[in-house]
Structures are given as structure tokens and as C-alpha cells.
Amino acid sequence: MKKLVLLSALALALAACGSGNKKPMETPKDQLVHRLFEYAQNGQIAYGHQDDLFYGHNWKVTDWEHDPLERSDVKDVTGKYPMLLGCDLGGIELGDSCNLDRIPFGLMRKAVLEHVARGGVVTFSWHPRNPLTGGDAWDISSKEVVRSILPKGEGGKAPEFREWLVRLADFLESIGPEVPVIFRPWHEHLGSWFWWGKELCSEEEYKELYRLTWLYCVKERGLTNILWCYSPNGPISPEEYMSRYPGDEFVDILGTDIYEYVGDGSVPEADVRFSEQVKDMLRSLSAMSLEHQKLMCLSETGFEGIPSPSWWTGVLEPAIREFPICYVLTWRNAHDKPGHFYAAWKGFENEADMKAFSDKENILFLD
Ligand code: BMA
């Protein structure tokens, strides 16, 4: 009931801003907006998995130029690909040939195009290095980093950072203007573990960084095929969520990243806590998405090693099903860190539960 009210209002809102009806003049971006909106309207949630086609729990693509990219832990378990393929662009800013998890950018481009040709959707995150110290995205040793790269900022790093944006946009452009993709830069910024985090820059500096990235890609480079996702870490209050919002013009999807952790308690306690956090956050995100006329998603989630016996059907699906999110994405299955996985793999003890999740009518995989 509540979901229907939210969605019909969102439908009206989208219609009012001119994107509610399919038109012959629809851009690729409009088409993806409509597709995602229809998922939410139909009570369906697309499932995504980070790095799904590049490697899995105990395998990886090696000869990528000749590999058909048909292997996937998710497919091994469910018989279907995830609807969304998540990729990370960390490393593109320096012109590296591979990203921070050693995925060749050539492989990434090939997988993106293959996944889209199969009918899937692609979302990009970005863990760029620290432009001031030369460290990684997690280097929070200086609070001057964001200030140093803004055009009017002190510290003189703005020209170098512009070069980073050039390389980022070059890669996104190489995907092709007809392929709409989701991009969610400067994520989890209401925590303080990345150099663009809450304690590392002011609200205005963060907003300027986001807008600068958008303005360069969209206005200077004409990359109009991108859906921009704003994805702070959750759970947080609506006030905090909006405290660094760059503005409606710069955002298409309101997301949030929420993970489950055991901490000092037990797995069942963690399940309950996570479920409440997700529901609270998605409830307030529903209101914000309505107010700002935006799509919404659970941009990252998971429980490392999935120690909860029926996490997919007993925890995740019940926590998200009543909310109009268009997608949920679980993080990567590392091939070189045995405990670092967020989707089931063939032989994993709870694989049947993920298969049951994939068979649910309201959860969309790619057949
Ligand atoms: C983190 C971990 C890291 C990885 C990074 C970027 O959550 O998975 O191992 O390098 O994401 O993908």
C-alpha cells in the first residue's frame, strides 16, 4: 500500500519532468531511467554483483582478449547472470592499464559491452588514488586533499586533478554514447575512510568536488549517457544524507551503501541489526527520492563470507522487498582472498539460498 502510494507519486513526478512516457526521441539515458523506474514501479529489484565477469571465489579471467566472459560465480549458483555488473575505475586517473584490483581496463570495457549486449546494466564506482599524497583512496593522512584539487583551492593540484578527470572521461567515453551507464563517484563520503570523507573536507568542498566531476564529464565532454548516483554510507539520518547533496541537477539516483558486520555480537544479532538499519534507511530514502523525484537503490551491500545460513531469503530480501529500490548490488568475490566474498559460489554451503533468492519473482537476474 505504502509502496504503491510512493510509486504512483514518483510516476507522476517523472511524467511531470517529461520522462514519464516513452518517446521516439528518448536518449539512451532516458531509456535506462525508464527501465529502472519500471522495475521499481513493478515492485521488482534488479540484482547486481561487483566484478562478476572478471573473477570469482577461486578463478579469474586470464586471456581476456580471447575469453568469452561467460563464467560468473552468480551464474554457477543460480543459472543466471546478475542484472547489474559493478566495475571499479580506481587507477584510470593515472592512466594505469589495470584497476586497483588488477582488472585490465581493456577487459573491463569488453565486459561492459558484452554485459549490455546480453541485456544487463552496468554501474561504475571509483576508488581513485590520493592526488596530494600519492597514497590510495584510503589515505586519510591529510585533510587538505579536496581543497588542493578544487579550481580555486590552495595547494595547486587543480591542473593535475583535471588530468585525472580527462582520463576518467576518456574511459567513460570509450564505452560509447549509446550505452547508458550508472556512475557513483565520491561514495561513502559520510564516513571518514576515504580522502573525500566527512572529516576530510567541508560540506561545500565535497559538493564542489562532485559538481566539478559532473560539469567536466557532462558539460565539457558531453557525456550525456551517464546516470549519476549519489551514494553515502548508511545508516544515517535524512538530514545527514542531504548535508552533502550536490543538488538535483547533478544526481539521478539516490543510493546508499550498507553492510552487515558481526562485530562483538552473534550472527543472528547482526542479521536483526542489519535488517533494521536497511529498512530505516530505505524508508527515509523513499521519502527523499519522492521529494527530489529520483530513482533509488541499495548501491552496495553484503555480509563478508555470508556467515548467515539463509541470508539471501531470510535477511536481505525481506529487508528490501517493501521499498521501491530499482537495484541492490553485493560486493565482489575476491579470487585471491578466500574469505572476501559477498555472493555465493559453486560449492559454498549456502548456495541453495542464493538460488532461491534468484528464483523470487520480485528479484531480477539476467537470463
Ligand atoms: C574494498 C575491498 C578491497 C578492494 C576495494 C575496491 O571493499 O574489496 O579489497 O580493493 O573494495 O574494489
Interval 41-60: pLDDT, tens: 999 999 999 999 999 999 99
Distance CA 296, CA 298 (A): 7
- In short, whether 101's Cβ falls inside 6 Å of ligand 1 is yes
Judge if the upstream peptide bond of residue 235 is cis by omega within 30 degrees of 0: yes
Distance CA 251, CA 246 (A): 8
**Band of the pLDDT at 25, cuts 50, 70, 90?**
confident
Does residue 10 surpass a pLDDT of 80? no
For ligand 1, atom 10, the nearest C-alpha belongs to 101
What per-residue confidence (pLDDT) applies to 14? 54
pTM for this predicted structure: 0.95
The dihedral through the CA atoms of 247, 248, 250, 253 has a sign that is positive
Mean pLDDT of 218-224: 98
What per-residue confidence (pLDDT) applies to 5? 47
- In short, whether 13's Cβ falls inside 6 Å of ligand 1 is no
Candidate ranges 20-34, 149-163, 185-199; pick with highest mean pLDDT? 185-199
What per-residue confidence (pLDDT) applies to 2? 46
Query: Which atom, in ligand 1's list, is nearest to the CA of 337?
Result: 9
Q: Which three cell numbers stand for residue 304?
A: 563478508
pLDDT in tens, 90-114: 999 999 999 999 999 999 999 999 9
- In short, whether 88's Cβ falls inside 6 Å of ligand 1 is yes
Does residue 15 surpass a pLDDT of 90? no
- In short, whether 75's Cβ falls inside 6 Å of ligand 1 is no
How much of the chain, in percent, has pLDDT values that exceed 90?
Answer: 91
Does residue 153 surpass a pLDDT of 70? no
Chain-wide mean pLDDT for the chain?
A: 94
Query: Which atom, in ligand 1's list, is nearest to the CA of 88?
Result: 12
Does residue 132 surpass a pLDDT of 70? yes
What per-residue confidence (pLDDT) applies to 17? 44
Say if residue 268 is exposed, middle or buried (CB neighbours under 10 Å; 0-12, 13-18, 19+).
Answer: exposed
**Band of the pLDDT at 357, cuts 50, 70, 90?**
very high
Closest by Cα among 264, 285, 177, 268 to 226: 177
Three-state secondary structure call for residue 315: helix
What per-residue confidence (pLDDT) applies to 158? 92
Mean pLDDT of 241-254: 98
- In short, whether 98's Cβ falls inside 6 Å of ligand 1 is no
Quote the ligand 1 centre to 331 CA distance (angstroms).
8
Task: Compute CA distances 328 → 255, 300, 308, 361, whole Å.
Answer: 9, 7, 18, 15
**Band of the pLDDT at 7, cuts 50, 70, 90?**
low
Mean pLDDT of 231-250: 98
pLDDT in tens, 293-314: 999 999 999 999 999 999 999 9
Does residue 198 surpass a pLDDT of 70? yes
- In short, whether 300's Cβ falls inside 6 Å of ligand 1 is no
Query: Which atom, in ligand 1's list, is nearest to the CA of 51?
Result: 12
Q: How many other CB atoms sit within 10 Å of the CB of residue 275?
A: 17
Q: Which amino acid is at 168?
A: L
For ligand 1, atom 8, the nearest C-alpha belongs to 332
Mean pLDDT of 221-243: 98
Say if residue 279 is exposed, middle or buried (CB neighbours under 10 Å; 0-12, 13-18, 19+).
Answer: middle
Does residue 140 surpass a pLDDT of 60? yes
Three-state secondary structure call for residue 299: strand
Distance CA 295, CA 289 (A): 6
**Cα 356 from chain centroid (whole Å):** 24
Quote the ligand 1 centre to 233 CA distance (angstroms).
15
Q: Which three cell numbers stand for residue 112?
A: 561492459
Query: Which atom, in ligand 1's list, is nearest to the CA of 340?
Result: 8
What per-residue confidence (pLDDT) applies to 156? 82
